[in-house]
Amino acid sequence: MQRIKINPRNNWQKAVEGLGFGFHTTNNPYWDESAYYSFEMDEILAIEKATAELWTMCLDAVQHVMDEGLYDKFAIPEWIIPYIERTWTEDHPAIYGRFDLCYKNGQIKLLEFNADTPTSLFEAGIVQWFWLQDFDKTQDQFNSVHEKLIDYWKYLKAYLNPGPLHFTCLKETLEDLTNAEYMRDCAIQAGLQTKLVFVDDIGWDSNANAFVDMENEPIKNIFKLYPWEWLLSDDFGKKILEDRNRAFWIEPAWKMILSNKAILPILWELYPAHPYLLPAYFEGDKLTNYVKKPILSREGANINIVRNNDLLQHTEGSYGKEGFIFQELFELPDFAGVYPVLGSWVIGQEPAGMGIREADSLITSNTSRFVPHLIVQ
């Protein structure tokens, strides 16, 4: 793995906007093609192997949490537990997730699993692929995101209730809308009938006991780019248990277990000393070099990095009331002051590609940049 500095394409903004990528820049470029990361094929195969194995381990961990009734460690409300277990036993469909990995000195370590509402899907599947076509189309990329999304929507079609597949996210965020619309486009290419309805516009028909869209059409299948914990914190979310249509929510409720950082100590307990895992605990007195993470948080908020029991880095935020976990510190590789995290995608049941975000510190946040990659042929 190497970081190579290059000159960005002339008018790269116009090129990415032509793909529908409207949030490429905030105060600074989010999409950053002033560099790329190059990999040897054996490195990519190692990342792919780790992704597949971690996915299998995560599925086993879900079953373990249910068998042992460990929901209190995840701050999951009791009223939703029967529904979570029903979505698991009835095999409600899931489609994707993103493992955040540290890759350094030949070692691959799981930092966390974004299993419910992962973003950067569009950048990983589309934007960096078209960058490669302009930069050097003789090279390859770890990227079958687009093809696997279409194929898996075709596969999931048999699981869905009759009727359209709705897609939803918040109105105010262009990033979420772009990712949701990209996912929707893949479903359309798979032959599914789809509709967009914003979370804010989902209604409840009290006569029919069912969710409806803006045209009062029943919602029987719905892909949401909206976290489960936010749904559950709203009284409106409790209607899920009353829903006469028993709509399929994608990602399904059992993903609440995997999108919660409490899964990290559970994995470590199940697979102690596994080479892809870092020691992780619910207690803070077992490590001297560690990262303290809220079990529910986003974009690197409320993180403490501690080295030799001294606070090394810290971020502010509004998370933490549900509790924390403590994960052994495994510092990201340092490429002259920038620190990359690999986001390795699993689509359906298979590894599907990779996106890289880099920060100017050891904590990857919402200001971190997306940098493309290629495989040296």
273 lies in some domain: no
Residue 172 has pLDDT above 90, yes or no: no
Residue 367 has pLDDT above 90, yes or no: no
Q: Which two tokens stand for residue 69?
A: 């009734």
Question: How many other β-carbons are positioned within 10 Å of the β-carbon of residue 335?
Answer: 15
Q: Which two tokens stand for residue 260?
A: 């919660």
Same domain, 96 and 203: yes
Same domain, 324 and 370: no
Q: Which residues pair with 351 in a beta bridge?
A: 346
Share of the chain above pLDDT 70, in %: 100
CB 88 within 8 A of CB 294: no
pLDDT tens, position by position, 107-118? 999 999 999 999
Q: How confident is the model at residue 28 (pLDDT cuts 50, 70, 90)?
A: confident
Domain final residue pick, 328, 347, 363 = 328
230 lies in some domain: yes
- Residue 333's SS3 state is coil
Which of 361 and 357 is assigned the larger pLDDT? Answer: 357
> Mean pLDDT over residues 19-41, rounded?
93
Same domain, 215 and 98: yes
CA distance 245 to 204: 12
- Residue 136's SS3 state is helix
Compute the half-sphere exposure of residue 172: CA atoms within 13 Å on the CB side of its CA: 1
Same domain, 289 and 165: no
CB 213 within 8 A of CB 219: yes
Same domain, 304 and 371: no
> In b/e form, how buried is each residue of 132-146, taking b as 16+ CB within 10 angstroms?
beebeeeeebbbbbb
Same domain, 147 and 99: yes
Q: What separation, in Å, do the N-terminal and C-terminal C-alpha atoms of the chain show?
A: 14
267 lies in some domain: no
Same domain, 204 and 295: no
CA distance 283 to 327: 10
Cα 197 → chain centroid: 21
Tell me the residue range of the domain where 203 lies: 2-259+334-375
Task: Give 301-308 contacts, CB < 8 A, sequence gap 24+.
Answer: 301/365, 303/363, 305/329, 305/362, 305/363
| Residue 319: per-residue pLDDT | 82
319 lies in some domain: yes
CA distance 133 to 208: 51
pLDDT tens, position by position, 310-352? 998 888 888 878 899 999 999 999 999 999 999 999 999 999 9
Domain final residue pick, 328, 344, 362 = 328
Residue 16 has pLDDT above 80, yes or no: yes
* Structural domains of the chain, count: 2
CB 164 within 8 A of CB 191: no
CA distance 327 to 291: 5
Same domain, 53 and 149: yes
Residue 29 has pLDDT above 80, yes or no: yes
362 lies in some domain: yes
Residue 298 has pLDDT above 90, yes or no: no
Same domain, 25 and 149: yes
∠ CA 374-10-336, rounded to 5°:
50
348 lies in some domain: yes
Q: Which residues pair with 5 in a beta bridge?
A: 35
Same domain, 30 and 131: yes
Q: Which two tokens stand for residue 339?
A: 């620190």
Residue 54 has pLDDT above 80, yes or no: yes
Same domain, 355 and 213: yes
CA distance 291 to 307: 9
Task: Give 280-288 contacts, CB < 8 A, sequence gap 24+.
Answer: 280/325, 280/326, 280/327, 280/328, 281/325, 281/326, 282/73, 282/323, 282/325, 282/326, 283/326, 284/324, 284/326, 286/326, 287/326, 287/328, 287/329
Q: Which residues contact 194 (CB under 8 A, 6 or more apart)?
A: 164, 165, 166, 167, 184, 187, 188
269 lies in some domain: no
Same domain, 208 and 287: no
133 lies in some domain: yes
